[in-house]
Chains A and B, each alone.
Chain A
Amino acid sequence: MIEELSHQQILRYSRHLLMPEVGLQGQLKLKNSSVLVIGTGGLGSPVALYLAAAGIGRIGLVDYDIVDSSNLQRQVIHGTSTVNKLKVESARDRLMDLNPDIQIDVYNEPYTSENALRIAKDYDIIIDGTDNFPTRYLTNDVAVFLGKPNIYGSIFRFDGQVSVFYAKEGPCYRCLFPEPPPPGLVPSCAEGGVLGVLPGTIGTLQATEAIKVLLGIGEPLIGKLLLYNALDMSFDFVKLKKNPNCRVCGPNADIKELIDYEEFCGVPGHHADDTSAGAGWDITAQELKERLEHDPNLLLLDVREPHELEIAAIKGAKNIPLGEVAQRMSELDSAEEMIVFCKRGSRSARAIEILSSAGFKKMKNLKGGINAWAEQVDTSLPLY
């Protein structure tokens, strides 16, 4: 237990010390606190930066990804000079520069049922900065089992959500969302996009809530969900109650230990290939190139949104956005073979599912989508 601040630290944190809600005692509390940040992406970036600046004594960072230049539009903890580096190392270096006074522990591994309890058990608070349903349910259940607050934030395009899920005092994530939507029903940011500043707004709110909870000040978002929309510039609050039937925090909870979250969410594992439609359906960009040489009239079905055609397109392809495939399939001939594609292969895989259930059989999914085509065949096209 650190009981006093050095002169240097007093100067660094003076704007905190001036406020009675924080003061010297509050700053010492922060110094003796620990926060685990799951994910160092769009949400984790502002969360970790502000918590480090605020003087949280120990910050844990979990991520297994590397920095990609397409991350920099929103993941502001990383930089051009750290592209291709491990995200946790890139983030740690930035945080140590911001505040060398604190301890940063990095976990360069996927957060899974095998390691999550071990990693999280020594932290006061867990922050959900993840980008997928399985890890969100895992993060929630770990927080419930360990009795820790889970500062939740989630984003999509222009929408954000923030809450503090703390089962000891209020509802948990599963009370609101007992089960995830089936894969494919909700588009991801990788396919649907996200306003770069949105995770900045939401992550900053998560950092605010973390500091309030650690200091025991104000009204944290326990039992409340904040809904933000950047286009409307609207902030709405709704009340959340504990769900008496909650399977992890309810009185008759039947989930007592961590489960297989990928199976629960019906999605492939961390290293699985989400750009494939599965066995038998795939065609590679190279194979498609050869097919087109023999059969230039082969039907190409582009299921991306119309505005994406301006970024990159394959000439002659017919465009029916995924959301319209079910209504417009009469425009397609099930007797004619077609190659379905999107940006990376996951929306086209979903389109193939829809068409297949309507009786279409002669289809192939362009594995890796137009990005694979741009990389392997038509290098004049940009990657996006």
Chain B
Amino acid sequence: MTTLRIPTPLRAYTSGKSEVNVTGIKISEALTDLTNQFPAIKPHLFNEGGELRPFVNLFVGENNIKDLQGVETPIKDGDKIMLIPSIAGGVS
């Protein structure tokens, strides 16, 4: 079991949950589990082609999966995955 931390802007799509427990041995599996549990979050993370949107940043511990093996990055029990959103402030 791995914990995936959901930032405030995306909690509207996870029933307000700040953390979601996900299973899987790599990031792609954890994300599939997340989107199975909360289908409404899917379009915010993936484009129509099923690829992770470029402004979505996922970190395992302190490291960006872009600096590791992308969605193939392995994860293990107890890892903390963080979704880091692009936020700008006042105006859309």
Contact = CB atoms under 8 A, between A and B. Distances in A.
Interface in B53-77: 53-55, 57, 59, 62-64, 66-67
Given A159-B9, A227-B84, A131 B55 contact: no
Interface residues of B, number: 28
A326 B43 CA distance: 11
B64 A241 contact: yes
A186 B59 contact: no
Contacts of B8: 156-159, 229, 231
Contact of B54 (A158, A159, A179, A189): A179
A238 B59 contact: yes
Contact of A323 (B12, B57, B66): B12
B67 A190 contact: no
A180 B86 contact: yes
A156 B62 contact: no
Interface string A140-183: 00000000000000111111010000000000000011111101
A350 B80 CA distance: 33
A273 interface: no
Interface string A262-300: 000001000000100000000000000000000000000
A277 to B, nearest CB: 13
B64 A131 contact: no
Given A155-B87, A180-B55, A227-B84, A188 B40 contact: no
A191 B55 contact: no
B18 A186 contact: no
A187 B62 contact: no
A132 B87 contact: no
A353 to B, nearest CB: 13
B78 interface: no
Given A178-B54, A179-B54, A185-B44, A238 B84 contact: yes
Interface string A222-240: 0001010101100011111
Interface in B14-64: 18, 40, 44, 53-55, 57, 59, 62-64
A43 interface: yes
Contact of A227 (B9, B12, B82): B82
A200 interface: no
Contact of A191 (B44, B54, B92): B92
Contacts of A237: 62
19 contacts: A42-B89, A43-B89, A130-B88, A132-B88, A136-B88, A156-B85, A156-B89, A161-B87, A176-B57, A180-B88, A190-B90, A229-B18, A231-B8, A231-B18, A232-B18, A238-B64, A240-B64, A323-B12, A323-B40
